[in-house]
Amino acid sequence: MNNKVLSTLGISMKAGKIQSGEFAVEKAVKTSGCHLVIVALDASDNTKKLFSDKCAFYHIPLYIYGTKEELGKAIGKEMRASVAVTDAGLAKKIEQYLESEVI
């Protein structure tokens, strides 16, 4: 796992640019209030499909990354299956880190 992704999520949370939890993330996606969605690897198949479909429809980048525990710990909360980044600049930086890890 790339610690830069998780630490940037923590910075985003401190800046108030994170929505977490299924309902808050879904609302952010529907209202075009987010620029990036991350779903945990160990999230349920239904959760992965829900956000895959929603993000495709609303043209929002979606990444499957980390575990629920890692995502929650990164933002200073309990386990979280989904996280939305609501700031365009922070989302772009996290996306760059995620892309560099894939290669």
- Structure confidence at residue 97 (pLDDT): 92
CB 67 within 8 A of CB 6: no
Per-domain boundaries in the chain:
3-102
CATH topology of domain 3-102: 60s Ribosomal Protein L30; Chain: A; (3.30.1330)
- Residues whose CB is less than 8 angstroms from the CB of residue 70 and which lie 6 or more positions away in sequence, other chains included: 1, 6, 40
- Please classify residue 94 by burial: count the beta carbons closer than 10 Å to its beta carbon, then call 0-12 exposed, 13-18 middle and 19+ buried: buried
Q: Provide the whole-model pTM.
A: 0.93
- Structure confidence at residue 100 (pLDDT): 87
- In tens, the pLDDT along 18-73 reads 999 999 999 999 998 899 999 999 999 999 999 999 999 999 999 999 999 999 99
Residue 103 has pLDDT above 60, yes or no: no
Angle (CA) 55 57 63, round 5°: 20
